[in-house]
Amino acid sequence: MTATHVNGLEVIADEPTASEITDRSGKPVIWHQPRTLLLEDGSTIYGCIHCEYTSDNPRSIRPHLTAHRDKKPAVARSGEATVTTLIQQLQDLQTIAADRDAWRERAQRAEQTLTVIRKALKEK
């Protein structure tokens, strides 16, 4: 819900805000959540489509929109997790650990090979 009155003045027009950014064809990108509000005295102010927040600065609306984001669901603690979830997490952890160990062995072999090559180049 966008503001209907700002500083005691009625909002007579509510439009999407044209940004300073242009698309590939050169047209300005239109922001639909930040709103351009025309007041009854002819002045322009910017507002949020979700609430009554307004500002003289159009750049302050976009950061404000983070207040309206959906909150990420909280991760279940192990006391609240199901047995199936815990088993899946354990299997994932074991897979990651095995992958890590394989890469560690590969890296160690590569380091040994590089050491042999460096010694051979020094001897020449």
Residue-level length of the chain: 124
Residues near 16 by beta carbon (within 8 Å), at least 6 away in sequence = 30, 31, 32, 34, 35, 36
Question: CA-to-CA distance for 122 and 41, rounded, in angstroms?
Answer: 83
Whole-number Å distance between alpha carbons of 104 and 24: 46
Q: Which residues of 76-113 are buried (b: 16+ CB within 10 A; e: fewer)?
A: eeeeeeeeeeeeeeeeeeeeeeeeeeeeeeeeeeeeee
Q: Where are the domains of the chain?
A: 5-68, 75-124
Claim: this prediction has a pTM higher than 0.85? no
The answer for 54, left when phi > 0, alpha when psi is -120 to 50, beta otherwise, is beta
Alpha-helix residue ranges (DSSP H) falling in the chain = 61-64, 83-123
pLDDT tens digits in sequence order for the chain, 124 residues long: 578 889 899 999 999 999 888 999 999 899 999 999 999 999 999 999 999 999 999 889 999 998 888 776 655 565 667 788 888 999 999 999 999 999 999 999 999 999 999 999 998 7
